Structure 1
Amino acid sequence: MISRMNPSKVIGLVALAEKPGLGEALRIMRRELSRHGLGSCVIETPDALERAIGRCGMLVTFGGDGTMLTVSSLAAMHRVPLAGVNLGRLGFMTTCSVQELPLLAYALQEGSYLTDERSMLEVVRVGEDGVAAPPRKLALNEVSLIRAQSGKMVDLDAEIDGELLNRYHADGVLVSTPTGSTAYSLSAGGPLVWPMSRVVCVTPICPHSLTNRSVVLPDNMTIRLRPRERRGRFDSMVYSLDGRSAYPIEVGESLVIRKAPETLSLVHLRKQNFGALLRAKLRWQGAEIPSDDE
C-alpha cells in the first residue's frame, strides 16, 4: 500500500557494520534527505537504535538482508517502516541500490513509496513446569532449534496444535515464515513461498530419514518444538532467531511458536514482482545476471 511518513519524525539511517561504500552511501542519503526537507540521524550501534527508535518515523538500513534482520524485531514492535539499501550481494528484502538513493529520498518526501506487511513469528520458551520464560521474542525469517555440538544429531518432537507431527532425528528443525523461505529454509530444502502467503513451513535440517520433508501449515496453528533424550542421553541444543543469536535449551523445556500479532512494514519503491526477483537473485533461466552491487 502507499504510505506517508509522519513529518514530526526523523529518518534513522542504520549503519551497524563497516562495508565498502558505506560512508559514501550515507553522505548521499543525508544530502538527498536534506534537499527534500527531511531530518535524519545516523545510528551505528544496537544500543543507539534502542534509544533513537521512538523518534524515528522510518529506518533505512545500509548493508544487506542481514542488517535488516538485525533491526526487524524492534521496527515491528514500534510499528516503524523499514527500508534497506543494498551494499551486499543478494538482497531479497532490500529496497534499492546506492544509485537509487535520490529516488528513495524523493519517494519518502512525496509519500509515494509502497509498503507490504510481512508476518513474523512469536517465540516463547516454556519451562518443564509449563511456565513461559520472558521475554517473548520475534523472528522475521525463521526459528531454528539445532544441535550445539558439531557431529551430533539431535532428537526432538514437533507438535501442531497439541498433536504430534513428527519425531525428528536430525541436525535440527526450522520453522520459517514466507519471507524466510529464501533464507536458511531454502538451504535446508524447504519450499519457496510467495511473501504474502498465510503459511509457515516446518523443515528438518539433514534428517536421518529420507521421508522427513518440509511441511507447509496454515499460519494460525501453534507449533511446539520439544527436545528429547535418546537412549537416556541428551545432546545439547540451542535455538536461534534469524541466525542473529543463540540460546541454550534443556530437555523438558520447549519452544512455542506462533504467528506474532506484530507485522513488519517493508518499504518498496515500486510494486514487487517476486517471480522476477527469484529469477534474478537465484540466476534462473531467463534472468539477467545481476552485478555484485545489485
Structure 2
Amino acid sequence: MPAQQVNSPPPPSATGFSTLHPDIVEAHILPRLDGPSLASAACCTTTLRRHSGQDNLWSNICHSTWPSTAASPQVSQLISAFPNGGPRTFFSHAFPLLTDQSCHGHSSLIPPPPELLSAVDIKYHDNLIFTKLHETSTDGGWFRSSPFRIDLLEPKDVVPTAVKYLAGDESAAEILDSMTLSWILIDPIGRRAANISSHKPVAVQRHWLTGELQVRFASILATAGHGHVQAGIVVTCGGSESGEMQVREVKLEIEDVDGIQLNGKDSMVILEGALAGKKGTGKNRVREGRRRYREFEKTKRERRERKLRTEGALDMLCLASGVSIVLAFWCYFLCR
C-alpha cells in the first residue's frame, strides 16, 4: 500500500511590512508616529532603524511636540547640532522625567552655562494655549545672589485663550486632568537639555484673595548639598469678562525641603546637574511625578511640625525658667 502523501502548505506570500517600498515607509508611515512610537519602531528591525534615524523625522517630531522649539531658526539649528543624533538626541533629553540621580556629582566638574534657554509650551485638551522661548542670562552677580526665579510674563501681561474659564470647584479637577506643560531648559553652549516639568499638574489650588487658579507643576530632584529640592512651575489662570480663561503668570522657582527659595548660584548648580545627569525612560512620568511631589510635601510638612514642636518645647523651657527666677526672687524678698 503506497504511503499517504502529505501535502505541505504553500509558502506564505510576501506581504509583510518588509516588502513595502522604502519611500512609502519614509513618507507615509514613519511621519505619522510620535516620538516614543518612532523610538520603539527603531528597535524592531535594522531597516526600520535606518529609516527612523533621519534628522528630518525627529526635527518634525520635536517641533510638533514642543512648538516653542520652532520659534527661532537659531534654536532649530542648535537642536540639529546636538551631539550623537541631533534632534533625536534632543528628544531623548527633553521627553523623559528627570531621575533622582540627575543632580549628583556635577557641581565641580562642569561650570554652569552662562545662558539658559527656556522652551515652554502649555496645552489644554491637547490644544496649545501658551508657547514661548525665553532667554536667561546667568553670569551676573545680581542673578547669583538673588532668589532664583524665571518669569515668562510681565506683571500686567495677560495671554488670552479660547478655553472657557470654570469658576466653580470643578475647574480644579478639570485642569488637573486636562492641562499639560513642558519646560525644557537648553544649554546652548554645552548642547544639553532637560525637561523640568511633571508634564501634568501635581496640584491645583485657588488663591485665597484673588480667586485665581494656581496650577503647579514640579520636579523633585536629589542634590548633594540641599537634600531634595523642588523645581516648581506655577501657572496662574484667571477669567476674562467674556468668560474665557487667561494665562496671567508662568514662573519657575527652586526651593528646598524647608520651603526656602534658593538663590541663583545654588540653583544653577542643581540645574547643571539636571542637564548633565541621567534621564528616565519616559514611562509613567505623570504618576511618578505626582508621587515624588506628595513625598516631598509630606517630608516638608513633617519637618515643619517637628520644628514647631521644638520651638514649643524651647518656649516652655524659657517660660519655666522665667517663672523659676521670679519665684526665687520673691522667696528671697519675703525671707529678708
| TM-score where L is the length of structure 2 | 0.25
- Answer 1 or 2: which has greater strand percent: 1
Greater RCO structure (CA 8 Å; 6+ sep): 1
Q: Radius of gyration: which is bigger?
A: 2
